[in-house]
Amino acid sequence: MLSQDERDWTPPNLTVLLGGHFNITGPPHLPTSYPSLSLGEVVVKWFEAVQTGLPMCILGALFGPIRLRTQSLQVLFSELIPWAIQNGRRAPCVLNIYYEQRWEQPLTALREELGISPPPKHIQGLA
């Protein structure tokens, strides 16, 4: 039987592994400026699908809109998906960027360097 101290112990490598989840899923939200809300997540999935071709991104892009409202779907298909596809093709892979070395860099400068145009619409309230 394990003591309380043994049950509460988290191996250092596990902490790094679990902390790495953001390092893989969070970066596309930064240069695209889309939040982790329903509509924002779908836009980022389209961006990621174009960049990586990964099945999870493609499926998220295709099936993510199922729960969105009509108004959000109209904006998604008319403005946001075309923006995500265009910028996903043009930008280098955003998963390869060492963001920790760029904390002081303004977001506009980062976007310019990556070839990512500003998002077409502020999506707050649409999700």
| Model confidence pLDDT, tens digit, residues 65-118 | 998 889 889 999 999 999 999 999 999 998 888 878 888 888 889 889 999 998
Compute the radius of gyration of the chain from its Cα atoms.
Answer: 18
Q: Is the separation of the CB atoms in 34 and 123 below 8 Å?
A: yes
Of the pLDDT bands very low, low, confident and very high (cuts 50, 70, 90), residue 29 is: low
What is the structure's pLDDT at 31?
62
Q: Is the separation of the CB atoms in 44 and 29 below 8 Å?
A: yes
pTM passes above 0.85? no
Q: Which residues, 6 or more positions from 27, have their beta carbon under 8 angstroms from its beta carbon?
A: 94, 95, 97, 99
